[in-house]
Amino acid sequence: MQGLDGKTALVTGAGSGIGRASARRFAAEGAAVVVADVDADGGAETVDLIEDDGGDATFVEVDVSDLESVQGMVDAAVDEYGSLEFAHNNAGILTSFEDVTTLEEVDWDRLLDINLKGIWACLQAELPVMADNGGGAIVNTASESALVGMPGLASYSASKHGVVGLTKSVALEYATRGVRVNAIAPGPTETNIAANLEVSDEADELPFDMSAMSDVPMDRMATPEDMAGAVAFLCSEDASYVTGHCLPVDGGQHAD
């Protein structure tokens, strides 16, 4: 893909799933990659995979919900590689499947802090570096639940709707400053996130139909590599006139 070779890309949540595939794809396209994650073991594994493939990667530990930690991540990226042209702000969690009225405040806060404030923190640290050094491109990971409501996943859906609003607003703020900002909205993707989903004791009794979540016209779940291809495209020169967009990568789910 045009325009990625020789540049620097930062990927959060790169210790697993979609972030790992995205980091590996950036490296395969010739970019040096900053693999950022709160999970040091997962991050180290991703670096090993990239190096085994002949790529260049460095791990930086980060908690995206902490602005100071995020600023340190971007500083470390620039110290290591001298520049930052691309960022995939991807770290996110999915914690509970339950009625909105039983959702604990602490769980609401934690999810919003990682999934939404975390994207804001990344943008705040990345944008000045990119704008002051010739521009760049950013992709934020939203979700299919950024585009429609998800019964049982109100906090997650709210956080991802927020990611799209943030993406569009910041894209407009930076449209004339050389930084494109887009989002992807993955459909159901084969990663660890569902395995970590906590289901409350009352969930079986909830009157929710979750079948829409797994009903995919292409009749398969997405792979993390499906997402990585979309991220690489949105960062590439082929997407040079694309900004403020949220691209569903969902096997046709939202064509229904």
Ligand X SMILES: NC(=O)c1ccc[n+]([C@@H]2O[C@H](COP(=O)([O-])OP(=O)(O)OC[C@H]3O[C@@H](n4cnc5c(N)ncnc54)[C@H](O)[C@@H]3O)[C@@H](O)[C@H]2O)c1
What residues are labeled active site?
A: 156
Interaction pattern, residues 149-188, with ligand X; x per rule: CB under 6 A: -------------------------------------x-x
List binders of ligand X among 75-94 (CB under 6 A). Answer: 90-94
**Shortest reach from residue 219's CB to ligand X, in Å:** 16
- Rounded to 10 degrees, the C-alpha dihedral 164/195/227/223 comes to -150
Let me know: does 165 contact 213? Beta carbons within 8 Å: no
Q: Quick one: tokens of 142?
A: 């939203």
Is residue 63 a contact residue for ligand X (CB under 6 A)?
yes
One residue of 8, 12, 182, 243 binding ligand X per CB under 6 A: 12
**Shortest reach from residue 240's CB to ligand X, in Å:** 25
H or E stretch covering 40: helix 40-52
Q: Quick one: tokens of 58?
A: 């460095």
Which residue stretch of 50-58, 61-69, 79-87, 173-181 sits at the interface with ligand X (rule: CB under 6 A)? 61-69
Interaction pattern, residues 103-142, with ligand X; x per rule: CB under 6 A: -----------x--------------------------x-
Return phi, psi of residue 231, to 5°.
Answer: -65, -45
Let me know: does 186 contact 250? Beta carbons within 8 Å: yes
CA 227 – CA 164 distance, rounded (Å): 17
Let me know: does 7 contact 86? Beta carbons within 8 Å: yes
Interacting residue ranges for ligand X, rule: CB under 6 A: 12-13, 15-19, 37-39, 42, 62-65, 90-94, 114, 141, 143-144, 186, 188-189, 191-193, 196
